Amino acid sequence: MNNGKMGFFFIGAILLIGVLASSLFVVNQWEMAIKLQFGKIVDSEYTPGLHFKIPLIQNVKKFDGRIQTMNSNPERFLTIEKKDVIVDAYAKWRITNAAQYFRSTGDNVATATRLLTERITTSLRDEFGKRTIQEVISGERAEIMALLTKDADEKASELGIEVLDVRVKQIDLPTEVSQSVYDRMRAERERVAADLRAQGAEAGEKIRADADAQRVVILANAYKGSEEIRGEGDGLSAEIYANAFRKNAEFYAFYRSLNAYGKTFNNDGNMMVLDPDSEFFRYFKSAEGKK
């Protein structure tokens, strides 16, 4: 009898331990949880730690509360110019409301991904539809990403999801659009290059004109200085000659006559018609008289 009671005791203890174990559940630091009773949510505000539930009547659903990455397939969008661009984007998101997430997706990852992709795609289409290809490709990228993140987060809030960041990995142009965009970019670069060359030519002309003006001024000042020096030298030379020849006027007259004779009879065939009694032949006469 005692052995039977002991057996029942052990069986009861084991059942009690099993019931207690099934009534406890742990929520980890990175998890979010909801408690269901007959398929209805009865509680969703769980902090990390140990919690209780009613065995067989209540069950617990856990969700990963960490940041997750959603990669979407490249999509084709129209810009404001009605030109196509192919956009490859991804998003960073996490669950913020476990109860709402469960109601919206039924704890189905594929459903959650599809619903989130639809909302992000809608945000991308709206933002790209407001801009030109030039703005999308080369400018306003940071502004576009911020607006995309804000709009996608607002749309995803009804799913119990917070969108933390939306990023465009790559923007491609369809073949039929690429050439026209490249031609436009080339024309723009050529226009800028032509403007720069024109500005350079204008600056060059100004520099050359200024250099020419400075050259004229420098040469004029140099010529003026040289003429002044030459004049001073000529004056000083004349003064020296005058002082020298003043000491013997007759010799000076004779010296000048010799210079005149040398210049006059320097070349063959020179012919002059002069009066033999003229002053020019004075020293010839003196020479003859001495003979």
Asked if residue 289 has pLDDT above 60, the reply is no
Asked if residue 16 has pLDDT above 60, the reply is no
Asked if residue 217 has pLDDT above 50, the reply is yes
Asked if residue 277 has pLDDT above 70, the reply is no
CA distances 54 to 37, 38, 58, 99, 123, Å, are 9, 11, 5, 19, 43
**Alpha-carbon gap, residue 59 to 36, rounded angstroms:** 5
Asked if residue 12 has pLDDT above 80, the reply is no
188 and 163 Cβ atoms separated by less than 8 Å: no
- Give the residue-averaged pLDDT of 219-238: 87
Asked if residue 291 has pLDDT above 60, the reply is no
- Give the residue-averaged pLDDT of 189-211: 90
Residue 246, C-beta contacts closer than 8 angstroms, at least 6 positions apart: 252
**Alpha-carbon gap, residue 189 to 198, rounded angstroms:** 14
Asked if residue 290 has pLDDT above 50, the reply is no
Q: What is the pLDDT of residues 24-61, one digit of tens each?
A: 788 888 888 888 888 788 887 888 888 888 777 878 88
Least confident of 2-6, 71-75, 106-110: 2-6
More confident: 4 or 161: 161
The overall average pLDDT reported for the chain is: 79
Q: What is the pLDDT, as a whole number, of residue 207?
A: 92
Q: What is the pLDDT of residues 142-181, one digit of tens each?
A: 788 888 888 888 888 888 899 999 888 888 877 766 677 6
Q: What is the pLDDT, as a whole number, of residue 262?
A: 66
Least confident of 157-161, 244-248, 276-280, 287-291: 287-291
Asked if residue 233 has pLDDT above 80, the reply is yes
